[in-house]
Structures are given as structure tokens and as C-alpha cells.
Homo-oligomer: A and B are copies of this chain.
Amino acid sequence: MKLAVIPGDGIGPEVVAEGLKVLRGVVPDVETNEYDLGAARWHRTGELLPDSVLRELREHDAILLGAVGDPTVPSGILERGLLLRLRFELDHHVNLRPARLYPGVPGPLAGDKAIDLVVLREGTEGPYVGNGGILRKDTPHEIATEVSLNTYFGVERVVRDAFERAARRPRRHLTLVHKTNVLVHSGQLWSRVVEEVSMEYQDVAVAYCHMDAAMIYLVTDPGRFDVVVTDNLFGDIFTDLAAAVSGGIGLAASGNLDVSRTNPSMFEPVHGSAPDIAGTGTADPTATVLSVALLLDHLGLPEAARRVEAAVAFDLATRQSGSVGRTTAIGDRLAALASS
């Protein structure tokens, strides 16, 4: 396995080190190439993602990213110049984000709410394309537009992958989350594609949920969701809340997948670079380790993926309540569990 590693800033390098430790425990033969991208490089050189680096990244089987950013970089620079650029250049059309409330993990919701869902957020279209403009900038007559672009091609491939995944899960249930009653143009396209593709997956039950109502259900009845498919912006919002109700973004993993396997997929914890705790050795590497499980699954090593996930589940269930422990200790424990 040839893996590109982007440790990034803040706690990024710390959690990535543990992710690699666990990965090497289950797949001994991993060749890694490290790429220095993120806030530090931008400060030093002004570069975000040089074309030569992008070319090299393409030569790998997958990419593991820690986290990028620090408070002194103006908002949007790294997001658009690095993170989103990678997603768009590498055609990461399925942004895969599972949310599971593991036994032993304290969630913010009262009562026992079982959560085990997976979101497929479209990753290359929607309001994220950067389409739009500003007219009469900085005047009292300014007009700003944002255009959400949705194509049959783009919607179909993520919806199809969502049905594929739903068909392989025990509940075989898929929910389209959108706001079709207001966003009629894109709403019609999404609804039509879900209906069409559902014909080929007769054993998958299909539901629809408005985005606003979905927020309510995530806190009152998250168990209703199994596989969720939605657009880029709704997915961004939905997955942060889904992570919050299942123990926090400290545990949330993600995969930016090119399902066609033309380009390497990229795996990253959903959390940021957490500069406030960087260097203290207290960052929780669990989200990165769970991202490694997604990576293994994507590369056709589902058994290794299950071992990593089981290690995390065991570790979370047996952690002393309140204490997370040191970054490296968690990595050691998870690596030992996963490779045992």
C-alpha cells in the first residue's frame, strides 16, 4: 500500500502518527510519503497546494490527512485552497461520514438513544462549487449570489453508492435529506434520481426527510436514520450534528471517496487542528484511527477495517469515564488491540 500522508498543523501530526501506528499493526507493508501542506507551509512559502504536489498525491493508493489550520490564517484560505481543492481535483464525490454512538461514550442527549448511521454527502457539487458573484461590491447596492450546481451525473453516482451501502447494511434503509419543498429545481433532480435508482434496489426501504426536520430527529429520534444521502451543504451541517450527538467530533471519521477509484481517496478526522491542545499530548486520535478503518475498507481490506473498528469499540467501552488518556497511549492500545 502506497499512502500519502498530510499531517498538517496543530494536533494533526500527533493524531496521524497514531493512525499510522494502528494501520501498520494490521497492514505491515505500508509505504508512506509525507507531504507538508497546511497553515505552516502557507505561512512559510505562500503555497497551498502546488501542482507538483497534487501530481505526486495522485500516484498513491490513498491519502491520510490529519488537520490543517491555525487561527492566524484568514478564514477560507486553507479551506478553499487546500481542503476543497483536494476534494474537487481528486473527484471525491462521496464524502462518507459514519456516526455511531459507541457503548460507553457519553452523548449530549438525555436517555438512551441508539445511533448508527452513515451519511453520504455529495462532495463535488451543490453550493460548494464556488459559483456565484458580487455586483456593486462595497456599495449600498451590492448583490451577492451563490449558485448551487446539481447534475444528474453527480447526483446519480452518490445516490447509487448510497443504495449500494444501504443494501449491505442490516436495516437496508435509506433517507434522502433535502429541502425539496423550497429548493424545487435541485429538489426535483435529487428526488427523481432517488426514485429511479431505488427501482434497482427493491429491498432497500426509502424515506425522505426535510433538512430542517432532520435536525429535530437527530436529537429526538436519531435511530430513524440508517443510510443518509444528501447534498454538499446539507451534508456539512447534518454530519456535524450527527457527530455531536454521537459523542462529539473528537470521534468522527470521514472518507472523501472517488468511488470510481480513478483518483486516490482521502481520509481525515472531521475535527480541526485544535491549536489550544497541540503539543500537550492529549489529543484523542480515535477519529483518525476510525478514518484509517474507512481507508482499509475502501482499499478492499474489510477484515482489517473491522479489526480496527472493533479495537476502537473495545477501547471506548473500557475507558475510565472522564479520562481520555494520552495520545500515544491510546494509539499503542488501539494498535495492540487491532493487531492481536
Q: Which chain A residues have a beta carbon within 8 Å of chain B's beta carbons?
A: 75-76, 79-80, 84, 106-111, 127-128, 130, 132-134, 136, 138-153, 156, 179-189, 192, 211-213, 215-216, 218-220, 233, 236-237, 239-241, 243-245, 248-249
Contacts and interface: CB of A to CB of B under 8 A. Distances in A.
Contacts of A183: 127, 132, 146
A75 B220 CA distance: 23
Nearest to A146: B148
Contacts of A213: 240
A216 B244 contact: yes
A244 B113 CA distance: 15
A215 B240 contact: yes
A237 B142 CA distance: 26
Given A107-B110, A182-B128, A237-B211, A148 B150 contact: no
Contacts of A147: 132, 145-148
A179 B150 CA distance: 19
A275 to B, nearest CB: 15
Contacts of A127: 127, 146, 148, 182-183
B151 A143 contact: yes
Given A215-B215, A233-B179, A185 B243 contact: no
B148 A152 contact: no
Contact of A132 (B140, B186, B245): B186
B240 A237 contact: no
A189 B236 contact: no
A228 to B, nearest CB: 15
Given A213-B240, A219-B108, A181 B151 contact: no
Contacts of A240: 212-213, 215-216
Nearest to A211: B237
Contact of A110 (B109, B150, B179, B241): B109
17 contacts: A76-B181, A76-B184, A76-B187, A80-B181, A84-B182, A106-B110, A109-B110, A110-B110, A132-B148, A140-B152, A140-B156, A142-B151, A142-B189, A144-B185, A146-B148, A215-B240, A220-B244
A211 B234 CA distance: 10
Given A143-B151, A146-B150, 15 more contacts: A75-B181, A76-B182, A108-B219, A127-B182, A132-B186, A136-B152, A144-B186, A145-B185, A145-B186, A146-B186, A148-B148, A179-B236, A182-B233, A216-B244, A219-B219
A80 B145 contact: no
